[in-house]
Each structure stands twice: as structure tokens, then as C-alpha cells.
Amino acid sequence: MGRMLNALSSRALELGPARSAETTGHFRSATDDNNVAWLILDRQDKSVNTVDRSVLEELASHIERLEREKPAAIVIRSGKKAGFAAGADINQFVGASKEEIRSSLKDAHQVLDRLAALKTRTVAVIHGHCLGAGLELALACDRRIAVSDATLGFPEVMLGLHPGLGGTFRAPAVADPIEAMTMMLTGRSMPAKRAKSIGLVDAVVEERHVASAVEAAFYGDIRPKSHSMAGKAMGFKPARQVAARTMRKKTAEKAAPENYPAPYKLIDLWEAHGGDEKAMQAAEIDSFAELIETPTSKNLVRVFFLREKMKGLKDGSSGVKHLHVVGAGAMGGEIAAWAAGQGFRVTLGDIQLAPIGKAIASASKMLERALKDPLKVRDALDRLIPDPDGNGIAHADLVIEAAPEKIDLKHKIYADIEPKLKEGALLATNTSALPLADLASGLKDPSRFVGLHFFNPVSRMQLVEIVRHDRISSETERRATAFAAEISRLPAPLNSAPGFLVNRALTPYMAEALKLVDEGIPKERIDKRAEDFGMPMGPIELSDQVGLDIALDVATSLRERLGTDTLPEAPAWLTRMVEEKRLGRKTGAGLYDYDDDGKPKKRDVKALPDDSKDDPDLLDRLILPMLNAVVACLAEGVIEDQEVTDGAMIFGTGFAPFRGGPVHYARERGVDGIVARMNELAKKHGPRFRPHEGWSRLKG
């Protein structure tokens, strides 16, 4: 039996010899000499498996056949190298009505219920990504064997939803209920070993041992993990009520129910029906169908497609295998470490040894957080090579300069680098504000020069602005865009202009917040109002995070280049703070003071004095200048695609995802109303609120 199982398990892409075998639309099936049936999910014309109606209908036909044939065991696994399944096909939900979705879900549940009810033992073999509906398919099997590279999760909350194909009741039934709920509430995936520790999978093995594990499952030697006493207690409503209160409190720290209703709906379902599978199933279907029609879910689904569109800007390969980074400061060090973590050979240079050593130490910590696997961290650090002499420049396919924002310094660096570049190598700058044309002016071959503007911290901020100039070649832009995608970042191509897109839009938001502080409004109130709107961080805290010196420099530069009417003048006290080196989080004190963990010491807004100052225009004074700058960038051709603009602002600034992006939000709110409101603000507060003429184009 072992030899046959091995042939079938390790060659999922090419089914081994079998007593009978056939290929249907999305499945390949085979039955071996020991009467073990194998179903290999391998979606036609797709690089990854997703689950939709056609997959489930085909699965239903196989289940019907297997009910008749009564094999000794059934094994389900994927024929895709990427993983088991990436979840449901989101396209099937677009434009569907609540009743259509409810009906479709009921049909899907019947298929998985039928799989779960098979008297024959069923085993899911999981490798790579197993997410959402893919995990729900695996949970309908009797046993789950994970290959060591597997990651499992329920990302539905990222779409304003919760699991809809049985995850809400099957996951807590097999895994620790609190851990299962936490997975669904956060959307975070977990590695195979962690999944085994909570009972979500029954065994973790290397690929070469899958056959033996399947055989062990067949003979009953692999058994589900029993719930602890605490886990068993969750079958009773009083225990769930206590746990639900804690879940709501923790969820409220991250997301307000009016903005993100899905996690609260899930908690309600589990609290009410967690001990009754059938009741939970019915409630799950109804709740999912209702959530998918909410503005939050529609906008988050839109954000999903924005992400896919930005990923799709990649055209071919970058040809980059070796990256060299010049400048081992905070940005250069993170860029180098992130690229090494994504599989690239990276050399990191600086004129001094100390920054390189500090960058390598920081890289280790960042990679531990990002990769969560000691072996992967070790391999990444092996690829990250300190290079104080700059020997890697001559071998690099791409050199990224991440030096301080001084044009003379950058020109000097380019003069040293360019003669050393090999044929076909690209030269990039991570400048956040300097004009690309000015930077390229001294280059002998400016056609291979490009802006690659990363955001801090690189490990969390997904956007990279791909900045053109008038002498860049189309091939350079194509390769730079491909490189950004290859390191799992989202590219946004745009033309060089003051502040590019993100800094152009964020600066008025931050500058107006400082103006409000100057008027006597408590900084905590300003931040809270922005966070209630949906921003991940208020503008005062953001200014401290960026660094008050950098915020002041960028605001001053933009004011000079765009005109004094575009931004408020920086308060005199801000200049004094910078002179006194009270720069924000990096110095432990700025507009806020910071504790040893780098967290700001904030007063609760509810604790502010009753007579503390407020402004009824506060939120619009923060948000509308940001929207105005975005409209200006579109009108002036800084960026051309409105959807990519929304994606860039969401992934580069954290602009409230549930609002669908600034352009989408403006249209939903009403362009005429915004223009009228900005004219009102201009009369009260000055010409910086004057609406850009580009608003008229947004109506089209």
C-alpha cells in the first residue's frame, strides 16, 4: 500500500499508476490497488485553486460516485504547486443579490455536508496556502494532514465578511474554540505547526512522508486532538458569553462596529449558537448574505480587486537577481532586508561600518516577525551581505540609492556608482521628494534611472511608487515595476512631481493638524477624529512617527514649490521643537511623549476638560485637503489611473479601506457637495481650501 500511496501523493501533478483514473473539469481522480480514492483539485486555466460553484458541483458528482463505489478511504489534495486552495472566487459574489447568495451558499453547504457525512474515511492533504473556502473544504474531511510549508487561515474579515462555507462551526469543533475564533476575527494565517498545536490539523509532515501519514490516517493511527476542559466549556452559553465580551473588547481596539461589522456579527453568532451546529450553520448563511451587501464589504471587495489590478501591472520579469543598496539607514536597511527575505541576493553598503551593523541587527528582528520560521530567517540573513567597500555594485542587476535627501550628495553617489554598473543594470533612487529630472541631470545614461519610493516601515507598507522622468526608457519602467511586484509590494507608476502622490496628499493632512494644534485644539481630539473616520493613525501621531524634522522639511519644500496658498505656514513652535531635537518617536519625545516600547502617552478624549477647544469643521479640515491634493495629482497627470490612485492611497497611507479609497469616497459623498464645502472652508480659513479645478473632471 505504501508504494502506491507514495506514487499518488508525491506526484499529485502527475497521478501515478492506479487501478482506475480519469480527469474531469477541475478534478483528476484515481483509485489505487488498495481501493483508496484520490481526488486532485486542479482548476483549469488558473495558477491557483479557488472554490466556486463549478468546483463544488463537480465535487458533488464525485461524492455521489464515491458513495456508490465505497472505497476504503478518500484523499483530497491539490495539483497546484502554490497550495491547496486560495479561498472562494470573489468574482462570483460581485453583483449577486442577497437571495442569490443565500441560495448559492445553501447549495454549497449541502455538498460539504455530504462530504462530511461520508462513511468512508476522508483525508485532506494540505500544502502551501489553504485559506477561506479551501480550509472549509479541508475541515469537511475527517482528517487533515499538513505538509510543513502549509499556512492556514480565514481571511474573509479582510473583505468585510466571516467564513460562509461552514468555517464558523467546523473550525471551533475541531480546534481550540478561542483560537479558531481568533483566526476568523483577525484574518491572520498560521503555519502548519501552530495549526496542529490548536487542533486545526492532525499531523504535520514533510512532503516525502505524506504517503506514510495518509496510511496512518487510513489505519486510525492519526487522531484528532481532544479539546481541553476550557475548550469543552465553550459548548455552554455562559462560558461563551464571558469569552465573547473579551472578544468584543479586543476587536473594538482595532475596528469600530459601525465601520467593520463582520467580526461583531461573528461573535454574536458564536455566542448565541456555538453549541448547536445546525443553528450556527443557518445563522452563518443568513449573516454572510447580509454582510456582503453592506457598504463595508462592497468597498473591501473593491480594495481586493484594486490590489489584484496593481499586482497585474507586472509585465514579465525584472531580471533582477542581485540587488545592491547604497545607504544603510532606516530605509536602506529595511529595503535590503525585505528583498533578502523575498529571495534576492542583496549587498548593503554605506560609507560607515556602524550603520551596516545596526541594519543587519534590525534586519534579523524584522525578518523574524515577517517570516516566522527560523530556517527561512537564517537563509534570508545568508543572502544579506554587508558590503562596506561597495564591491556588489559591479555585480548587481539593480542598485537602489537610499541616502539622505541632499541633491549634491546623491549626485556624488551617482558619479561613483554609474561607471561601475554592469551592462543592463538599473539605478534607482528612494527619494521621497526630490525631482527625478534634477537627480538624473548628471547621469551619462539617464534612461536606466528610476524612482523606487518605498514607505516606512517597508515590511508593513505595501506600496512602492514607480517614479518616471522625461528621459527614462519604457524598459526601465517595466523592469522596475516588475521588481516591486517580485518583492511582494504593490507598484504605482507615476510621473515625477513635488511630493509625488502620497506625500503630496498626506502633507496637507498633517500640516492642517498642526495648524489645529496651534489654534488650541487638543492633539488627542484631532487624532481621535481622524481615527474615527478610519485612518489607521491620527495625523499628530503620524507626524511624530515620520519625524517632525522630516515633516517640517517636506511641508516647507512643498509650500515653496506648489505655492504658499497650498499649505498653512508651519507654526513657530514646530521649528523650535526641531531645533531642540524633540523630533517624535525616534527621540522619545515630540508632540507626544513615548514610553519605553515606543507607544505614545495619550490622554483619553473622554478625559479632556469639558471646556477644551473643538472645531465643528475639524474632520473636513483634515480630510478634504487630502482629497484636493489627490484630485490635483490626477488633473496634473502625476498619476493617470483613478483606481490605482485609490489603491496607492490605501496601501501607502492606510486611507480608510472600508471607504474604498479617496476617489471612490469623494464620488460616494458627492463631488458637488465637496466643492461647495471646500469653498465654505476657504472663506473661513483661507485659500489653502480652495478646490482644485480638477474636481470638474472627477464628475465625468
**Which residues form the catalytic set?**
136, 156
CB neighbours of 536 closer than 8 A, spacing ≥ 6? Answer: 654
Q: Which residue has the cell 462596529?
A: 257
3-state DSSP: the chain helix, strand, coil percent, rounded to 5?
Answer: 55, 15, 35
In the three-class reduction of DSSP (H, G, I as helix; E, B as strand; rest coil), residue 497 is classed as: coil
Burial of 609 (0-12, 13-18, 19+ CB in 10 A): exposed
CB neighbours of 14 closer than 8 A, spacing ≥ 6? Answer: none
Report phi then psi at 678, rounded to 5. -65, -35
Measure the CA–CA gap between 605 and 592, rounded to whole angstroms. Answer: 14
Quick one: three-class SS letters along 357-424?
HHHHHHHHHHHHHHHCCHHHHHHHHHHEEECCCCHHHHHCCEEEECCCCCHHHHHHHHHHHHHHCCCC
Quickly count: other Cβ atoms within 10 Å of residue 577's Cβ.
20
Residue-wise DSSP of 52-120 = -HHHHHHHHHHHHHHHHH--SEEEEEES-TTEEE--B-GGGGTT--HHHHHHHHHHHHHHHHHHHH-SS
- Cis bond before residue 191 (omega within 30° of 0): no
**Nearest in space to 251 (alpha carbons), one of 238, 266, 264:** 264
> Looking at the DSSP assignment, which residues form a beta bridge with residue 323?
346, 398
- β pairing state of 426-429 and 322-326: unpaired
One-letter amino acid for residue 173 of the chain: A
